[in-house]
Amino acid sequence: MLPSSMQPLPMLPQAHDPHALMARWRRLAKLAHMKVKVLVELEGEKIFYLESQSKSSAPFYLSAGVHGDEAAAPWGLLRWGEAQVQLLRENHFLIFPCLNPHGLRANTRLDHRGLDLNRRFHLQDDPLCGPWYRVLSSRVPPTLALCLHEDYDAAGSYVYEFESDRAPLGASCLQAAAVHLPVDLRSKIDGRRAKQGIILRSRIPQQLPGLPEAVVLRQLGCPRTLTFETPSECAFIHRVQAHAAFVHSAVERTLADSH
Ligand SMILES: [Zn+2]
């Protein structure tokens, strides 16, 4: 396997092609002995997830592509995965490479119905979030959950992290990503108080218009749930590299803590 810095990059016309993305994941799944499963098929587009064959421990949950106009997130997750075949073989991973392929193709935040998926993860009758919820709720809660996003208004990378009884991961993962993109140092990000790029959530927020993926993962019992955001206006390659570095750091730290 080539080191991650030498992996071929997505050509820009491919960045919004979910089939090109999934072709790479399928190849990787074979190498990593993972199963590729269909979560659901919607409007002619299959939505896939990958799962390790050995499920002896709580999984690492990784997801990207909930918002289709945030293309560096799914490609960054793939870039990390292609450099981590052995790690993928040896541990339990549950990976959703692109939950909104229609949005990725159309370069829009919303899905094919014009809805923001990230306000619907609690809805068990939703044709996508329902099957997603059933996959998650029928397994041991993940030991770590990473939800990868981008933000057009960001001045750098930042992270939402839930407080828990485990040591926080956000700061060290942001530092790892800062090799590629600076941290957003504003004291208020997305209307919330932030410190050094970290928006700490002490409890599940009330009065949301609908529940995001990270909140539902937390409700399902995942002790470490982080949402990583890169600034959409920065160069694509740097955003891809920042996502890969963030995932690498979070997984490595969590593995180190469990040994
Ligand atoms: Zn997003």
Residue-wise pLDDT for 237-253, tens only, equals 999 999 999 999 999 99
Q: Cβ distance 189 to 157 under 8 Å?
A: no
In a domain, 216, yes or no: yes
CA-to-CA distance for 180 and 11, rounded, in angstroms? Answer: 19
Compute, in angstroms, the gap from residue 156 CA to the centroid of ligand 1: 15
Interval between CA 77 and ligand 1 midpoint (Å): 14
What per-residue confidence (pLDDT) applies to 8?
65
Q: Which two tokens stand for residue 208?
A: 């949301």
Q: Which residue range is the domain that position 232 belongs to?
A: 31-258
The whole-chain average pLDDT of the chain stands at 93
Q: What percent of the chain has pLDDT over 90?
A: 86
Centre of ligand 1 from the C-alpha of residue 259, in Å: 33
Instruction: Determine the distance from the C-alpha atom of residue 127 to the mean position of all C-alpha atoms in its chain, rounded to a whole number.
Output: 20
Pick from 60-69, 168-177, 207-216: least confident: 207-216
The answer to whether 81 touches 74, Cβ cutoff 8 Å, is no
Q: Is 90 exposed, middle or buried (0-12, 13-18, 19+ CB in 10 A)?
A: middle
CA of 70 to the centre of ligand 1 (A): 6
Interval between CA 228 and ligand 1 midpoint (Å): 9
* Ligand 1 center to 33 CA (angstroms): 30
Kindly tell me the sign of the dihedral angle through the C-alpha atoms of 159, 231, 100, 250: negative
Per-residue confidence at 166, pLDDT binned at 50, 70, 90?
confident
Residue 11 domain-assigned?
no
pLDDT value for 56: 76
In a domain, 79, yes or no: yes
- Contact present, 154 and 232 (Cβ < 8 Å): yes
Ligand 1 centroid from CA 250, angstroms? 19
Structure-model confidence comparison of residues 257 and 194, the more confident one: 194
Give the pLDDT confidence score for residue 217 in this predicted structure.
96
Buried/exposed code over 59-75 (b: 16+ C-beta within 10 A; e: otherwise) = bbbbbbbbbbbbbbbbb
Residues by chain with Cβ below 5 Å of ion ligand 1: 67, 70, 149
> Which residues are bridge partners to 201 per DSSP?
162
67 CA from centroid of ligand 1 (Å) = 5
Identify whether 14 is part of a domain: no
CA of 1 to the centre of ligand 1 (A): 30
- Residue 163 forms part of a structural domain: yes
Q: In sequence order, which residues have a C-beta less than 8 Å from that of residue 133 and are 6 or more positions away?
A: 121, 122, 124, 216
- Averaged pLDDT for residues 30-38: 98
Distance 54 CA to ligand 1 centre (A): 31
175-234 residue pLDDT tens: 999 999 999 999 999 999 999 999 998 877 677 789 999 999 999 999 999 999 999 999
Q: What is the mean pLDDT of residues 63-73?
A: 98
Count structural domains, the chain: 1
CA 56 to centroid of ligand 1, rounded, Å: 31
Alpha helices in the chain (DSSP H): 18-32, 72-82, 85-90, 101-106, 129-137, 170-177, 213-219, 236-258
Confidence class for position 10, pLDDT limits 50, 70, 90: low
| 71-119 tens-digit pLDDT | 999 999 999 999 999 999 999 999 999 999 999 999 999 999 999 999 9
pLDDT of 2 reads 46
Expressed in angstroms and rounded, the spacing between residue 218 Cα and the centre of ligand 1 is 18
Say how many Å lie between the CA of residue 149 and the centre of ligand 1.
Answer: 4
Question: 151: CA distance to ligand 1 center in Å?
Answer: 7
65 CA → ligand 1 middle, Å:
8
Answer with the residue of higher pLDDT: 216 or 167.
216
162 lies in some domain: yes
What distance in angstroms lies between residue 150's CA and the mean position of ligand 1's atoms? 5
Q: Which CATH number covers residue 140?
A: 3.40.630.10
Domain presence at residue 127: yes
Does residue 23 fall inside a structural domain?
no
Write down the residue that tokens 């108080």 correspond to. 193
